[in-house]
Structure 1
Amino acid sequence: MHYDPIKDRLGQWMSRHPWLQRTFYGLLNLLFLRAWYVRRTVRRLLSSFPETRPVRVLDAGTGFGQYAYFMARTFRNVHVDAVDVKRDYLRRAQHFADQTRVGPQISWIEDDLTQLQVEGPYDLILSVDVMEHIEDDERVFQHFERVLRPGGYVVINTPSDQGGSDVGGEADEGFIGEHVRDGYNMNALAEKLRRAGLVPVEQTYTYGPYGSAAWSWLIKRPMQMLGTTWAALFILPLYYLMVLPVGLFLNAKDVAHPNETGTGLLMVAQKPSV
């Protein structure tokens, strides 16, 4: 089963009206543990910049645009260049953002990260669950270093090599079959960033035992139900009524307790100051 087509169809349906899109963003932020980690890290890093000066952010692989919207809504001094190769994603996200007060703070740009054309300098680059889809990742990291301001940060969230693509065995392509690599080894990712001129400063395993259990209950099983029949949309409200409290408790436990290992990986790197 491939998870991305189901996710894409849900995103297209939820973009039909601003209140649906806002609800969709809220659900992504609530159900996906990665959003808990990413939003916490991004909020901390952006808060370290003076409120009196503009801050430029590159959302590298913006997808549905929820993180670009979050950053612009939370920080009035932030301008986000939201980049993606999928024109339909950009069009839907821009249509929603333009109907909100944060619309002028976000530029929606069709671009390929391996041939990045945008110009910096950026204070922060965010890449959430993107690099596992790109074969030539080191070229992307070189572009990140090129457009990043000295002292600026890169935040990368990605599956780890501890089963991050939900791979169960050698013959199992996994629940998520669209990745070019099953996940990153923490040390190998850090070394690739160093070769690009970026210095890793934080390395965190996410989706430990608690988070992995929450992923199964909150995301994987519902997606499998939708993969079988879209009629499951009528069942899912009752399903979440039962499992949501437990799933959110597990997410909170994962964030609160450092994981020795996990199926997710969050890494922060910095470009050395000149």
Structure 2
Amino acid sequence: MQYDPIKRSLGKVFNQTPALRIFFYRLLDLLLLRAWYIRRELRRVARQNQKEMQVLDAGSGFGQYVYYMSSLGKQWTIKGVDVKEEQIADCNQFFEKIKRHNRVVFEYADLTKFVNTEAYDLILSVDVMEHILEDELVFANFYQSMKKDATLIISTPSDMGGSDTHHHHEDEGVHGFIDEHVRDGYNAEDIRKKLTKAGFRNIRTSYTYGKAGNISWRLSMKFPIKALNTTKLFFIALPFYYLVTYPIAFVLNWIDISTRHSKGTGLMVVAQK
């Protein structure tokens, strides 16, 4: 299943005015459980660092987390990098319209080649590493690009069904809800070893999307996206669908983020240089 065309369609709908786009960001922040976890980690960083900070969003996509960080840290200078040229141009235009372009910029970058030596106090990477085969090279580049004591935050699917993959016959490979992934997800021990090899310390891994979060994800993301893949007419029904399901998803998200999980389909990783 292709996830990107749906994101693009929604993006076009909400990109007509800056106010609509900000509304869309806020909807995503409420809807996506991963955003709850990421915002919590970013608030921790903000509490510990009241000073000016240089931040990299490695795989910035639609700019959701750059917007949140630019609101959270008024003294933060943020660079968003991505491989999708149209998203870079689009994000630069939006941040110019909302008058934040003096401290927010988006550029094209291939993370396997991108190094900006000792430049950043914080690197955020959300749902990116599962798309990159040469992950150890990227971790080494992150390390090189960070200042001493800087923080790295990674959110990625785990290998416990995070890509919602299911194996078919050998000649067909792996297929799942999200087809663009090069690996099913990360094992907590595996990513810890790779980050340690790159030089990181104080590595903290925690599973996200436990039982409650998984049900919430199916309700708030999987079912509606499957329906939109079937027919674009579901766009009309979408507000009514969420009116019924979102209160349930909200409670499930709250249960998930308030609980420690021994396993889950998502993984949050925080590390220091």
Shared topology, TM-score over 0.5? yes
- Is 1:107 matched with 2:105? yes
Q: Distance in 1 between matches of 2:47 and 2:84?
A: 30
- Is 1:229 matched with 2:231? yes
120, 123, 137: which is aligned to 1:122?
120
Q: Distance in 2 between matches of 1:120 and 1:168?
A: 40
Q: Which runs of 4+ in 1 moved over 4 A?
A: 169-172
Which SS does the other structure have where 2:154 is aligned? strand
- Identify the residue that residue 47 of structure 2 maps to in structure 1: 47
| CA-CA distance at 1:202 after TM superposition | 1.6
| CA-CA distance at 1:123 after TM superposition | 0.5
Which SS does the other structure have where 1:173 is aligned? strand
Counterpart contact for 1:124–1:152, Cα < 8 Å: yes
| CA-CA distance at 1:23 after TM superposition | 1.6
Q: Distance in 1 between matches of 2:240 and 2:97?
A: 32
- Identify the residue that residue 77 of structure 1 maps to in structure 2: 75
Which SS does the other structure have where 1:104 is aligned? coil
List runs of 5+ in structure 2 lacking aligned partners.
Answer: none
Q: Which amino acid aligns with 1:132?
A: E
- Identify the residue that residue 142 of structure 2 maps to in structure 1: 144
| CA-CA distance at 1:170 after TM superposition | 4.4
- Identify the residue that residue 212 of structure 1 maps to in structure 2: 214
Please report the TM-score for the alignment, with normalisation by the length of structure 1.
Answer: 0.94
Q: What's the CA shift string for 1:242-271, capped at 9, x where partnerless?
A: 111001100010001111110000000111
Q: Distance in 2 between matches of 1:5 and 1:183?
A: 22
| CA-CA distance at 1:95 after TM superposition | 1.4
162, 173, 176: which is aligned to 1:174?
176
Q: Give the CA RMSD over aligned residues.
A: 1.3
| CA-CA distance at 1:103 after TM superposition | 2.7
- Identify the residue that residue 240 of structure 2 maps to in structure 1: 238
Counterpart contact for 1:200–1:267, Cα < 8 Å: no
Q: Distance in 2 between matches of 1:61 and 1:260?
A: 28
Counterpart contact for 1:129–1:157, Cα < 8 Å: yes
Q: Distance in 1 between matches of 2:137 and 2:217?
A: 31
Which sits farther off after the overlay, 90-99 or 125-134?
A: 90-99
Q: Which amino acid aligns with 2:256?
A: D
Which sits farther off after the overlay, 109-118 or 179-188?
A: 109-118
Counterpart contact for 1:4–1:176, Cα < 8 Å: no
| CA-CA distance at 1:46 after TM superposition | 2.4
Which SS does the other structure have where 1:152 is aligned? strand
Which sits farther off after the overlay, 1-10 or 147-156?
A: 1-10
Counterpart contact for 2:117–2:145, Cα < 8 Å: yes
Q: Which amino acid aligns with 1:18?
A: P
- Identify the residue that residue 256 of structure 2 maps to in structure 1: 254
Q: Which amino acid aligns with 1:160?
A: S
Q: What's the CA shift string for 1:106-165, capped at 9, x where partnerless?
A: 111111100004444211100000000000011100100101011111100000000000
| CA-CA distance at 1:6 after TM superposition | 1.4
Counterpart contact for 2:161–2:184, Cα < 8 Å: yes
- Is 1:165 matched with 2:125? no
Q: Which amino acid aligns with 1:150?
A: K
| CA-CA distance at 1:235 after TM superposition | 0.6
Residues 183/71 of structure 1: CA separation in 2 closer, same or farther (3 Å cut)? same
Correspondence list, 1:21-100, <5 A? 21-49=21-49, 51=50, 53-100=51-98
Q: What's the CA shift string for 1:64-105, capped at 9, x where partnerless?
A: 111111111111111111111111111111211112243322
Counterpart contact for 1:69–1:102, Cα < 8 Å: no
Q: Distance in 2 between matches of 1:54 and 1:46?
A: 10
Give the fraction of aligned pairs with identical amino acids, expressed as a percent.
Answer: 43
Please report the TM-score for the alignment, with normalisation by the length of structure 2.
Answer: 0.95
List runs of 5+ in structure 1 lacking aligned partners.
Answer: none
